[in-house]
Every structure is written in C-alpha cells, then in structure tokens.
Amino acid sequence: MATSLTFDTQFDPETGMPVPVADGLVRVTAPNASPYTFTGTNSFLIGHERLALLDPGPNDDAHLDALLRAIAGRRVEAIVLTHTHRDHSAAASRLSRQLDAPLWFGGAHSLSRPLRRFEHNRLRRSCDWGLVPDRTLSDGESVPAGDLTVRVHATPGHCANHLAYGLGSDLLSGDHVMGWNSTLVAVPDGSMTDYLTSLDKVIGLPYRRYVPAHGAPIADGPSHATALRAHREQRNEQVLAAIREGARTVSAIVGKIYPAQPFMVRRAAAMTIEAHIEHLERSGLLSVSRRPWGTRIAL
C-alpha cells in the first residue's frame, strides 16, 4: 500500500441536504463547521424503509429539522453513536424521545485512563458525560440498522468508547480515520497507544472505503490509514529528536516541531504531542517526571 499522506479539504458537505453515499446510506451534514469539525458533523441514515440514525450530531434546530425531512416519516429503530463527543451526540436524547428510538453505543463516556493529581481534562466540556445507552454495543457483534445490518468494531483511541461500523464494503469510521486531517488524540480522554492499535485493527478489516463523520468518503481507506500510521510514527520520531536536542517540556517540543504555526494550531498540537509522549513513555522510550510545578521529559 502507498504510504504518502494527503488530505482532502475540498469537500462540499451540502449542509442540511440528504446526500446518498451508498445503497441504504444517506448523509446529512450539520451546520457546525469549525477548526475541529471541518465542514460539520456527518449524520447518517442507514436503511431503506426502516432506519437507524448514526451520530445525530449537535442539538441544533436546523439540523434536527433537516434530519426529520430526510427521515420522511419512516420508522427509526435505533439511534447509534460512534462515540460520545457532543458534536456527535448532543442531539441524541432529544431525538430518542421524539422518535421513540433507543440509544445504542459503546457505553457511557469515560477517560482512557484516570486523571492524575492536579491534571485537567481539556476535553471535559466536549464530552457527553450523562448519556447512557439503552443497549451497549460490543466489538464484533452484528446489529440491525433499520432494515440492514452493521458489524460493530471497537476502535478506542480518539476516546475510550469509540466504535466504527461495517456496512457492506464500507467502514463508517467516525473520528477514528478521516480524510481531511489527522485525528485529535488528547489525553486522558484519548490514548495514542490505543489509537495506533485501533489503526492496525481497521487496516486489517475487510473494508475498502471509509466513510468518516467529518469530510468526504475515503476511496482507499486501508491505504489512507496506513499513511496515517506512518505519520504518527514520524511524529514519535520528531518528539524523540526534539528531546535529544534539549527540549524538556511539552511546550518546548511543540516549539521545535511546529515553529511557525499560529497559536490555535499549536494549542491543538500540544494535546496530541502529550498523547505521543505518553505513548513513548509507555513504550519505555522516554521518561517523564511529573510535579505540581511542572513536567520534565528526558530520554
């Protein structure tokens, strides 16, 4: 497989419109474009006469109206989530009541590891902590999605309860693999070690096209995921090189790897660099000394 990494940033989401993606799969993109959500969250209707709704998205009246128009009176038998970040799940409870449809996902939101003393979860407000599934989905099971069937694949990393869904030859990849950018992995909500393991897993699954929750479908999903894997390994090497050159803090490492990027980019980069540092620490390739007054990193 090719390992060159390219991103598709030319996607036209046709926000609010029902867009056929495959037989029995229709996309409706929410109007919540941002630097973290790209053109907005893609919600999906799965099925024909009977439906499942995947990732209902933000609790936005215009988006909910667009979803209801696309549903067009058909029975929604379940509301299914890839994960419980609020750009995917905030409308779930409201639509569950309105459509009388149960919530199915991978369990209540939880951290990938416990908070350390004095540690702050930067994604705390982005997480849907109170949402509880009516059915907790498990890795490897096949579940009805309207009048179709999807296969559940646990893909932790972006967050602990992230799931992807196989539908025919497509993988509904959520935020785990996207074509417009690499995925944010921010500890302790996410885990770089889990993310890389999940990348290896999806590369080995029998799906060609990946259909993510932000941006356009990825025609050759395994090749793109392989390139993302190589990109993450390159970032690991950059982190180690920065430490060899004398960087001892996260901010110093970010400064060496992203010397000319604007503040918002560097802020997001710092979260991912922290995840890389934890992965490298777990792999025994560096050591981290954590104190209330700061963190020091060494080889």
Q: Does residue 7 lie within any of the structural domains? A: no
Domain housing 119: 19-229
From first to last of its 299 residues, the chain has per-residue pLDDT tens of 446 899 999 999 999 999 999 999 999 999 999 999 999 999 999 999 999 999 999 999 999 999 999 999 999 999 999 999 999 999 999 999 999 999 999 999 999 999 998 898 999 999 999 999 999 999 999 999 999 999 999 999 999 999 999 999 999 999 999 999 999 999 999 999 999 999 999 999 999 999 999 999 999 999 999 999 999 999 999 999 999 999 999 999 999 999 988 877 888 889 999 999 999 999 999 999 998 778 899 99
Q: Does residue 14 lie within any of the structural domains? A: no
* C-alpha distances out from residue 137 to 14, 69, 162, 204, Å: 31, 28, 11, 21
State residue 3's pLDDT score: 61
Q: What is the CATH number of the domain that holds 36?
A: 3.60.15.10
Q: Does residue 6 lie within any of the structural domains? A: no
State residue 292's pLDDT score: 79
Instruction: Looking at the structure, tell me whether residues 42 and 66 fall in a common domain.
Output: yes
- Among residues 146, 126, 127, 143, which one has the least CA distance to residue 135? 143
- 25 contacts 45 by C-beta, under 8 angstroms: yes
CA–CA gap between residue 31 and residue 70 (Å, rounded): 15
Q: Does residue 140 lie within any of the structural domains? A: yes
Q: Does residue 265 lie within any of the structural domains? A: yes
pTM (predicted TM-score): 0.96
Q: Does residue 193 lie within any of the structural domains? A: yes
How long, in residues, is the chain? 299
Q: What's the token pair of residue 268?
A: 């997001």
Instruction: Looking at the structure, tell me whether residues 187 and 209 fall in a common domain.
Output: yes
Place of tokens 């369990």: 107
Domain C-terminal end among 195, 229, 263:
229
Instruction: Looking at the structure, tell me whether residues 225 and 235 fall in a common domain.
Output: no
Instruction: Looking at the structure, tell me whether residues 187 and 250 fall in a common domain.
Output: no
- Tally of CB atoms within 10 A around 66: 21
Instruction: Looking at the structure, tell me whether residues 162 and 201 fall in a common domain.
Output: yes
Q: What is the CATH number of the domain that holds 266?
A: 1.10.10.10
Instruction: Looking at the structure, tell me whether residues 154 and 141 fall in a common domain.
Output: yes
Instruction: Looking at the structure, tell me whether residues 199 and 55 fall in a common domain.
Output: yes
Q: Does residue 8 lie within any of the structural domains? A: no
If one counts the domains in the chain, the total is 2
Instruction: Looking at the structure, tell me whether residues 243 and 169 fall in a common domain.
Output: no
Instruction: Looking at the structure, tell me whether residues 211 and 294 fall in a common domain.
Output: no
Q: Does residue 235 lie within any of the structural domains? A: yes
Domain C-terminal end among 189, 207, 229:
229
Query: What is the residue type of 100?
Result: D
If phi over 0 gives left and psi between -120 and 50 gives alpha, with beta otherwise, what is residue 284?
left
- 266 contacts 254 by C-beta, under 8 angstroms: yes
Instruction: Looking at the structure, tell me whether residues 68 and 126 fall in a common domain.
Output: yes
Instruction: Looking at the structure, tell me whether residues 142 and 286 fall in a common domain.
Output: no
CA–CA gap between residue 56 and residue 258 (Å, rounded): 35
Burial of 97: CB neighbours in 10 Å, binned 0-12, 13-18, 19+: exposed
* C-alpha distances out from residue 184 to 63, 103, 136, 296, Å: 24, 25, 25, 23
Domain C-terminal end among 183, 210, 229:
229
Burial of 23: CB neighbours in 10 Å, binned 0-12, 13-18, 19+: exposed
Instruction: Looking at the structure, tell me whether residues 196 and 236 fall in a common domain.
Output: no
CA dihedral defined by 35, 214, 1, 23, rounded to 10 degrees? -170
- How many CA within 13 A on the CB side of residue 79? 28
- Among residues 187, 190, 195, which one has the least CA distance to residue 116? 187
- 28 contacts 67 by C-beta, under 8 angstroms: yes
CA–CA gap between residue 15 and residue 7 (Å, rounded): 20
